[in-house]
């Protein structure tokens, strides 16, 4: 049975897939796989399926939103086609976990991957605006499933 606890450092979900396995923090796991990696591709959403970001390490993780932090422009996944070329080849510069401590589960928590600054497309820029930082919000439940699958493969004979 998988147990969900919270990491003391990040207040993020801990995943423990077996009694003999040490709990792993989803932020630490994602940091090992994504920090300073370059975005090399996007898989656009299809129907009710989320879109995915593919890194140069070949890690593909589900995404629920793309946004800029300064202007709080939030793009839904149907707008990815406009944004994808601008995000290709940027790298993940930071990972943030936003925990909702009053919620006993993780459904309201957010896993945010920040990318290095790049020039926004003209249709999103103000006349005096130059660079902005874009963040990618991972679909946490889907990311946890990927993490659990990898952790299970590590502990199973």
Q: What is the pTM of this model?
A: 0.80
Q: Which position has the higher pLDDT, 47 or 132?
A: 47
How much is the pLDDT for 135? Answer: 82
Q: Is residue 56 part of a domain?
A: yes
- Has residue 116 been placed in a domain? yes
DSSP state of 22: P
82 lies in some domain: yes
Q: Is residue 13 part of a domain?
A: no
User: Residue 152: its pLDDT value, please?
Assistant: 92
Q: Is 97 contained in some domain?
A: yes
Which structural domain, as residue segments, surrounds residue 125? 26-140
Q: Is residue 12 part of a domain?
A: no
Report pLDDT digits (tens) over 69-122.
Answer: 554 444 555 566 666 666 776 889 999 999 876 766 777 888 999 888 655 555
Question: Is residue 153 situated within a structural domain?
Answer: no
Q: Is residue 2 part of a domain?
A: no
Other Cβ atoms less than 10 A from the Cβ of 26: the count is 25
Total count of domains within the chain: 1
Q: Which residue has the tokens 């630490």?
A: 28
pLDDT at 107: 78
């Amino acid at each position: 049975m998988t147990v969900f606890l919270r990491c003391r450092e990040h207040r993020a979900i801990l995943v423990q897939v077996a009694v003999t396995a040490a709990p792993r923090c989803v932020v630490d796991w994602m940091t090992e796989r994504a920090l300073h990696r370059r975005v090399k591709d996007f898989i656009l959403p299809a129907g009710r399926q989320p879109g995915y970001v593919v890194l140069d390490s070949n890690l593909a993780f589900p995404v629920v939103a793309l946004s800029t932090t300064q202007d709080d422009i939030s793009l839904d996944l149907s707008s990815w086609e406009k944004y994808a070329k601008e995000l290709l080849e940027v790298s993940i510069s930071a990972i943030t976990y936003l925990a909702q401590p009053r919620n006993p589960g993780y459904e309201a928590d957010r896993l945010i991957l920040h990318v290095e600054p790049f020039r926004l497309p003209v249709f999103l820029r103000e006349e005096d605006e130059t660079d902005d930082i874009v963040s990618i919000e991972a679909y946490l439940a889907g990311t946890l499933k990927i993490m659990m699958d990898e952790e299970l493969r590590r502990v199973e004979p």
